[in-house]
Amino acid sequence: MRMADAHTSRRARAAATRPTNVSLDAALVDEAKALGINISLAAGRGLEQAVKQARSERWLEENRAALDSSNSWVEANGLPLANHRLF
């Protein structure tokens, strides 16, 4: 990736941000500020993790039947091509 592309990408991400009002524990905000923590960045990272976790849980829920079916087949029949394994 060229440096110009990296800079453009960073600028594009910054332009995609949205001001949002949130309510946070006042003591926690004060401590974060005293420690020099960028509250917007920390909140964004926390939200990103929460979204990732929710997506993962939703995917598992939506695909539970297929996963259970596959696991049942393997339990009944063993792993496909198991006789070709070298370990």
Per-residue pLDDT at 87: 74
What is the value of pTM for the model shown?
0.66
Positive or negative CA dihedral for 73, 77, 82, 84? Answer: negative
Per-residue pLDDT, 81: 86
- Which residues of the chain carry a pLDDT beneath 70? 1-15
pLDDT at 11: 58
Model confidence over 22-47: pLDDT tens digits? 999 999 999 999 999 999 999 999 99
* Angle, alpha carbons 47-49-55 (nearest 5°): 100
Per-domain residue ranges of the chain: 24-75
What pLDDT is attached to residue 86? Answer: 81
